Amino acid sequence: GDSVTQMEGPVTLSEEAFLTINCTYTATGYPSLFWYVQYPGEGLQLLLKATKADDKGSNKGFEATYRKETTSFHLEKGSVQVSDSAVYFCALSDQTGTYKYIFGTGTRLKVLA
Amino acid sequence: DTGVSQDPRHKITKRGQNVTFRCDPISEHNRLYWYRQTLGQGPEFLTYFQNEAQLEKSRLLSDRFSAERPKGSFSTLEIQRTEQGDSAMYLCASSLAGTRFTDTQYFGPGTRLTVL
């Protein structure tokens, strides 16, 4: 079945450092790919999405490119802030008509001032 | 657009009791999803509705779980005879099917269930 694999956390960075969180997927067909962010005590917020190969999703300085050849959707940000500290989830939307999400296990990011 | 809301935000119950959670989706959204998230894991799909019809249920949804969406608006998730293994965050999400945003889900804040 479909699956999503994310790099294990926690990831600890200093403010203004470069961030990469790796995400790879296994799926039949061509799923849409998503990054969601979860702040402590809150639900998931959509960060960005991409719906087809070579699409780049971007939002709030975060970017991710849909790479079909490597089945990857790595999240990047050039300069992180303390306020980016959260758990980040990579997900795919199954294409069977349900559009249910398959999530990775999440990567906790901690940014130090 | 007030977003997806869930009630209660927290629920503590004793093993064997029944609990019910409510989800109010974004008003024009016709799809509603339930997920369960345990500590340190990503959310897992439980079930979903298109309008009032429940179209798919995960194997995770045992006979003790039941979900409804009367009139295609709010939804309830009931767990009967709760077990300690039911302790988790229960997340609700909604989307607008039939548009180019069909696959984009918006999540509520979740209901955290603790079974003692």
Cβ contact A29:A53 at 8 Å: no
Q: Are B48 and B31 in contact (CB under 8 A)?
A: yes
Contact B107 A43 (CB under 8 A): yes
Low-confidence stretches of chain A (pLDDT < 50) are none
- Rounded to the nearest 5°, which phi and psi values hold at B70? -65, 135
**pLDDT value at position B5?**
96
CB-nearest to B42 from A51, A100, A106 is: A106
Residue B1, pLDDT > 90, answer no
Mean pLDDT of B55-83: 93
**CA-to-CA distance for A77 and A59, rounded, in angstroms?**
10
Interface test with A, best of B94, B103, B106 (most A CBs within 10 A): B103
**Is-cis flag, bond preceding B8, omega within 30?**
yes
Q: Chain A: nearest CA to B98, how far in angstroms? A: 11
pLDDT value at B66 more than 80: yes
Buried residues in B68-98 as b, exposed as e (16+ CB within 10 A): ebeebebbebebeebeeebbbbbbbbbbbee
Mean pLDDT over B20-26 rounds to: 97
Report pLDDT for B101.
Answer: 73
Chain centroid to CA A80: 15
Structure-token match 């079945």, residue found: A1
Half-sphere exposure of A25 (CA within 13 A, CB side): 28
- Burial class from Cβ neighbours inside 10 Å (0-12, 13-18, 19+) for residue B106 reads buried
Q: Do A101 and B105 touch (CB under 8 A)?
A: yes
